[in-house]
Each structure stands twice: as structure tokens, then as C-alpha cells.
Amino acid sequence: MNFQFVNTISELDQMIAQLEPSDVLYVDTEFVRERTLFPHFGLLQISDGVHVYLVDPQSIEDFSSVWKLLVENDRLIVLHAFGEDLELLWNEGCPQLTHVLDTQIAAGLVGWGTGAGFAALVEKVSDVALDKSHSRTNWLKRPLSPEQLRYAADDVIYLAPLAQRLITELEEAGLTDICMDECKRLANRSTKDISKRYLDVKNSWPLNPQQLAVLQVLATWRYNQAFERDMALSFVVKDLALVEIARHQPTSMAELKRVPELSPMELRIHGKRLLKLVEEGRAVKKEHWPEPIRRVIDIPSYKVMQKSLSKLVKKVAEKAGIPDTMLASKRQQGEYLMWRWRHQQGLAVDYEPVMMSGWRKQMLEPSLIEWQHATP
């Protein structure tokens, strides 16, 4: 199948006119994200299953007509493993996509494997072994070679028959609505409170509330720095360094130098600022300290409850005809157990576990109610 490289407004207008009548569009993106907080847009691939276009964001600045195409008329947009693709589209100004299908989710629901890769699924459906040698291409460099363009085009050329096969499989299994609900949930755009960024810092759970107050100040500053400079968080200051600074709370450059996890460059660039942030964190009043970080594995009888809950999930999933890993992953089961334990302890709960929302709630709630009564 041939493709067209689009790098002028007139070509873009022609593309929009060609794709406008289609009820389904197949989409992929190429980007670079090695040292940056946000993905840098390298290429947009889009097809109606017949015509294939590669749109160059380095030549075309205004993508508003493309975004309108993706969101209007309840048109189905198909991608594979769409997490980072949607993040890129949002960052570039595309509105929330609500009628979207992720072929990775669909493949998992019909039993083709949870988290299946695109190449493996294409080989299963089309009996084609895709060339993945350009997966680490610098998509920001121009000109792109014919081989790179063909690689990019293949990602939507073969997405079409894969999606069409999966849509048929979903319909035959009666799983279409569940799949679309799940894709809509995962595609839902949410913004995290910057003050909660400390919860993303790895290995911070041993810190006490006072230390967490310092970490909260440090993590908020780091995210703001990363956002302003478009740097990956670890290229500002690494997680382990933040944790150790929050733990030891140095008050001088001499003490800060004794934090082995802090590199000489981080010390030179951010040293004075880090000391001021520690001072700011130490000044936080006790009533404003974060609560201790609680891990699900620390819940009393966690292993027994997790094993029992896992059996319940498998039983319900088998009856529903879907893989148990799609009904409730181990992480989602842990989220539910923590939610339940917090309720039992009278602790604040500001989230709804995935297992108790949407289609999963309808499928699981009766069994979970019985399980709750039988489990201390």
C-alpha cells in the first residue's frame, strides 16, 4: 500500500477532504522522549484503511484541522497501546478523544495476551513480520529516509486489518461495549495535583510524616523545574537523592555534599536551592504534614486476602469469558484491598478503585459483597 508524505497546507487540506467521509481512522505517532518531560512530535500517521498519510509536524504548525477530524462525528479512532500517543496529542492541542479503540486492550479481552505488542499481533493476523529496526529512530531529524517512512506507514497500514479482526472477535464474544468502556476510561485525560508529586518518588515509603513534608516541597519544586525546562525529572534531581535529602535534611553545603546519591553536577547547579527547600519543608506545621505512605503489602493478612481475592476474580472472569488479568490485574486488586482497608480504619479515601467502577463494578460487585462479609 502506498503512502503520501504531507508537509504543506494544501496537501493537508487534501488529506482532510479525503479522510472526512470515513467512520474509522487508524492513527499512530512517532516522537522522541529521552531527556525531556514531554514527548517531542516527530510524525503523525493516519489512514482510513485505504489511503495512508504521514504528516510532518516540523513543516505544518497548525494541526487544528486534524484534531477536528479526530473528534467530530463520533468517528472511531483506532490506535495500539495509545497511552503515550494520547499524551502527545493532548500536549499538541488535540481535545479529549472519547470514541477510541486500543487494539492492545481489545487483544487482551479476546484472550490474545495482556499487553501484546503490535508486531506480534500483526504477525498473528496478517502473517507479516514487521521490520522494527527503526524503532529508536530520531524522528525529529530531517530528511527521513524511505526506509523510515515505510516503517512509520506500516504502523497504520497493518493496524487496519488488525483492528477489523479484533472488532469482529469482540462482537462475536459480546465484549464490544466492555472494550469501548475500558478504552474510554484509559483515554480519560486527568491532571495530577502537583502537590502530590512526592507520591511518585520511588522508595519514599520509609519516610515519616515530617520527612515527607520536606519531600513534598522538594518534589513540587523538581516538577516545576522539569515543566519549565522540559526536562525529564531524573535530569533535574534523581529520586534517590530527593529521598535522602528529605531523610537527612542537611542545613549546610558541607552536609549536602555528604549525600552520596546527589551528583556533583546536581550539587553545583541546585545546591543552594535545595538547602532553602529543606528549610521550607522543615517549617511546615505538623497539622499539614502528609500522612505516612502505606503499602498494600503491609496490610495485616495481606497475602491471605490477596490470594482469596485473586480466586474470586478468576472465578468471575471465567464465567464472563474474559481473562482474569483483564478483569482485575494484581495492581488493581491491591488498589481495592488498600481502599477497603482504609475504609475499615476510618482513614480518608479520595479515590474509587478500578474494581468498583464501570463495567467491572457491575460484574464484580455481587461477588465482592459476599467476599467482604466472609473476609475479616
Nearest to 29 by CA among 103, 87, 108: 87
Instruction: Let me know if 85 is a catalytic residue.
Output: yes
Query: From the candidates 48, 56, 85, 266, which is the catalytic residue?
Result: 85
Nearest of 351, 364, 352 to residue 319 by alpha carbon: 364
- Tell me the one-letter amino acid at 362: Q
Strand 52-55 to 40-47 pairing: antiparallel
d(CA 145, CA 152): 11
Q: Please pick, among 30, 48, 56, 324, the residue that the annotation labels catalytic.
A: 30
Instruction: Please answer whether residues 337 and 309 qualify as being in contact, where contact means their C-beta atoms are separated by less than 8 angstroms.
Output: yes
> Active site includes 28?
yes
The catalytically annotated residue of 28, 102, 154, 266 is: 28
Sign of the dihedral through C-alpha 237, 243, 246, 251:
negative
User: Per the structure block, which three cell numbers stand in for 250?
Assistant: 542537611
Q: Are 308 and 373 in contact (CB under 8 A)?
A: no
Which has the closest alpha carbon to 106: 85, 125, 132? 125
Half-sphere exposure of residue 245: CA atoms within 13 angstroms, side-chain side: 38
230 is known as an active-site residue: no
Kindly name the residue from 26, 53, 151, 223 that is annotated as catalytic. Answer: 151
Q: Which residue type occupies 225?
A: Q
- For residue 67, the tally of other CB atoms under 10 A from its CB is 16
CB contact set of 148 (below 8 Å; sequence gap of 6+): 134, 137, 139
| Nearest C-alpha neighbor of 249 from the set 293, 222, 280, 220 | 280
Look up residue 322 and give its three cell numbers: 474474559
Contacts 24+ apart (CB under 8 A), 171-175: 173/109, 173/110, 173/321, 174/321, 175/109, 175/110, 175/321, 175/322
The arrangement of strands across the sheet holding 52-55 comes to 4-6, 52-55, 40-47, 24-32, 76-79, 100-102
Whole-Å CA distances, 206 to 203, 259, 291, 293, 299: 7, 17, 12, 8, 15
23 is catalytic: no
Catalytic residue among 48, 102, 154, 155: 155
As annotated, the active-site residues are 28, 30, 85, 151, 155
